[in-house]
Structure 1
């Protein structure tokens, strides 16, 4: 897993904790944390998927399936 995806996943976890704490304290600031959670989860998914596709492409080239 690429380093940026790990950092984005860590940001997801921290944003989730911040949102829960904000809502538990009665603050509407938790809405901002939920939005940060959404963006960081999309970043993590994008870079994880990109790394997975790069690995598949490299394996295909190594096997001689460059056209696939």
Structure 2
């Protein structure tokens, strides 16, 4: 299996954020329509996807190459 690159990690993080926002919207709609159980399922999915977004965003930051090294004379 190929290693994840910073670019693919950023893509996974972005997809997770999109799914998280959609799950929040679905939870709000479910609760307003009176479906408590389905709303709770959407809230749990929101928690899962937000954790995935944080994980992949952090992984992309750690894997990204650092800026140019500072010289001692500056």
> What band does the TM-score fall into relative to the shorter chain?
0.7 to 0.9
Would you tell me which structure has more helix in proportion to its own residues?
Answer: 1
User: Unaligned 5+ residue runs, structure 2?
Assistant: 1-6, 70-74
Structure 1: which 4+ aligned runs deviate by more than 2 Å? none
Matched, 1:31 2:43: no
Match of 1:11 among 9, 19, 30: 19
Larger Rg: 2
Q: Distance in 1 between matches of 2:23 and 2:39?
A: 9
| TM-score normalised per structure 2 | 0.74
Q: Which has the higher contact order (CA 8 A, sep 6+)?
A: 2
Q: Distance in 2 between matches of 1:12 and 1:59?
A: 29
Q: CA RMSD in A?
A: 1.6
Count of aligned residue pairs for this structure pair: 60
| TM-score normalised per structure 1 | 0.80
User: Unaligned 5+ residue runs, structure 1?
Assistant: 64-68
Q: Distance in 2 between matches of 1:5 and 1:27?
A: 29
